[in-house]
Structure 1
Amino acid sequence: MSVMTALTAPLADTFWATSLRRWNTVCRVLFGAMAVGLVTTAPPGGSKYQSLALLGCVVLCHAVLDRFPSNPVVRPHVYLAVLVLGLGGLAYLGSSYAALFMVTLPHYWMFGRTPRASMVFLGLATGATLAGSLLRQGWSAEFFGETTVSTLIVVAVGVLIGLWAHSVVEQSAERARLIEELERTQARLSEAHQRQGAADERERIARDIHDTLAQGFASIIVLAEAARAGLADDPGRSARQLRSIESTARDNLAEARELVASAGQPGPGGERSGSVARTLRRTLDRFAEDTQLTVDADLADLDCDQRTRIALLRCTQESLANVRKHARASTVGVVLVRRPYGMELEITDDGCGFVVEESAGFGLDGMRKRLAELGGRLTVTSSVGDGTRVLAVIPVADEGDA
Structure 2
Amino acid sequence: MTDVRFSDDQARVLRWNTVLWAFLGLAPEVVAAQDDPPGTRVWSSGVPIALGLAYAAARRFPGRLPWFLWVLAAGIGVVAYFRDGAATLFVASLPMFWLHARSVRDPVWLSTVAVVAALAGDLLRGGDLRANAVVSVVGYGAGTVLALTVRRRLELADRRAERLGAELAGARSELAEAHRREGAAAERERMAREIHDTLAQGFASIVVLAEAARSDVRDAPDDASRQVATIERIARENLAEARVLVGSSPHATIASGSVTATLRRTLDRFAEDTGLAVDAELDEVDGDQTTRVALLRCTQESLANVRKHADASAVGVVLTRFPEHVELEVTDDGRGFAVEDARGFGLAGMRRRLAELGGDLTVTSSVGDGTRILAVLPLPEPLPPPEPPPASEPLPASDSSLEE
Q: TM-score, normalised by structure 2?
A: 0.63
- Unaligned segments of structure 2, at least 5 residues: 1-62, 75-89, 117-126, 386-404
Structure 2 counterpart of 1:281: 264
1:362 counterpart (338, 345, 366)? 345
**CA separation in 2, counterparts of 1:156 and 1:286?**
95
Structure 2 counterpart of 1:173: 159
Residue deviations 1:77-121 (CA, integer Å, cap 9, x gap)? xxxxxxxxxxxxxxxxxxxxx9xxx9xx979x9369xxxxx9xxx
How far is the alpha carbon of 1:390 from its aligned partner? Answer: 0.6
Structure 2 counterpart of 1:158: 144
How far is the alpha carbon of 1:369 from its aligned partner? Answer: 1.2
**CA separation in 1, counterparts of 2:65 and 2:151?**
15
* 4+ residue segments displaced more than 4 Å: 21-31, 141-144, 397-402
CA RMSD of aligned residues (A): 4.2
The letter for the 2-side match of 1:395 is P
1:249 counterpart (227, 232, 235)? 235
**CA separation in 2, counterparts of 1:386 and 1:262?**
44
- CA 1:216–1:342 in structure 2 vs 1: closer, same or farther (change >3 Å)? same
2:307 counterpart (324, 349, 353)? 324
- CA 1:294–1:389 in structure 2 vs 1: closer, same or farther (change >3 Å)? same
Structure 1 counterpart of 2:31: none
- CA 1:287–1:272 in structure 2 vs 1: closer, same or farther (change >3 Å)? closer
**CA separation in 2, counterparts of 1:331 and 1:350?**
6
Pair 1:110-2:104 in alignment: yes
How far is the alpha carbon of 1:26 from its aligned partner? Answer: 8.9
- What are the within-5 Å matches in structure 2 for residues 172-251 of structure 1? 172-251=158-237
Q: How many residues align?
A: 300
1:377 counterpart (355, 360, 364)? 360
The letter for the 2-side match of 1:389 is R
Q: In the alignment, is the contact (CA less than 8 A) between 1:331 and 1:349 conserved in 2?
A: yes
Q: In the alignment, is the contact (CA less than 8 A) between 1:380 and 1:389 conserved in 2?
A: yes
SS where residue 295 of structure 1 aligns? strand
- What are the within-5 Å matches in structure 2 for residues 296-311 of structure 1? 296-311=279-294
How far is the alpha carbon of 1:275 from its aligned partner? Answer: 1.6
SS where residue 303 of structure 1 aligns? coil
**CA separation in 1, counterparts of 2:154 and 2:214?**
87
- CA 1:178–1:351 in structure 2 vs 1: closer, same or farther (change >3 Å)? same
Pair 1:345-2:331 in alignment: no
**CA separation in 1, counterparts of 2:327 and 2:160?**
58
The letter for the 1-side match of 2:281 is D
SS where residue 385 of structure 1 aligns? coil
How far is the alpha carbon of 1:367 from its aligned partner? Answer: 0.6
**CA separation in 1, counterparts of 2:197 and 2:310?**
18
- CA 1:205–1:400 in structure 2 vs 1: closer, same or farther (change >3 Å)? closer
Quote the sequence identity (%): 56
**CA separation in 2, counterparts of 1:143 and 1:28?**
23
The letter for the 2-side match of 1:377 is D
Q: TM-score, normalised by structure 1?
A: 0.63
How far is the alpha carbon of 1:169 from its aligned partner? Answer: 2.3
- What are the within-5 Å matches in structure 2 for residues 257-272 of structure 1? 257-261=243-247
**CA separation in 2, counterparts of 1:150 and 1:399?**
82
**CA separation in 2, counterparts of 1:366 and 1:401?**
33
The letter for the 1-side match of 2:299 is T
How far is the alpha carbon of 1:260 from its aligned partner? Answer: 1.3
Question: Which segment drifts farther, 342-351 or 180-189?
Answer: 180-189
Q: In the alignment, is the contact (CA less than 8 A) between 2:327 and 2:376 conserved in 1?
A: yes
How far is the alpha carbon of 1:184 from its aligned partner? Answer: 1.1
**CA separation in 1, counterparts of 2:301 and 2:309?**
12
1:295 counterpart (269, 273, 278)? 278
Q: In the alignment, is the contact (CA less than 8 A) between 2:216 and 2:224 conserved in 1?
A: yes
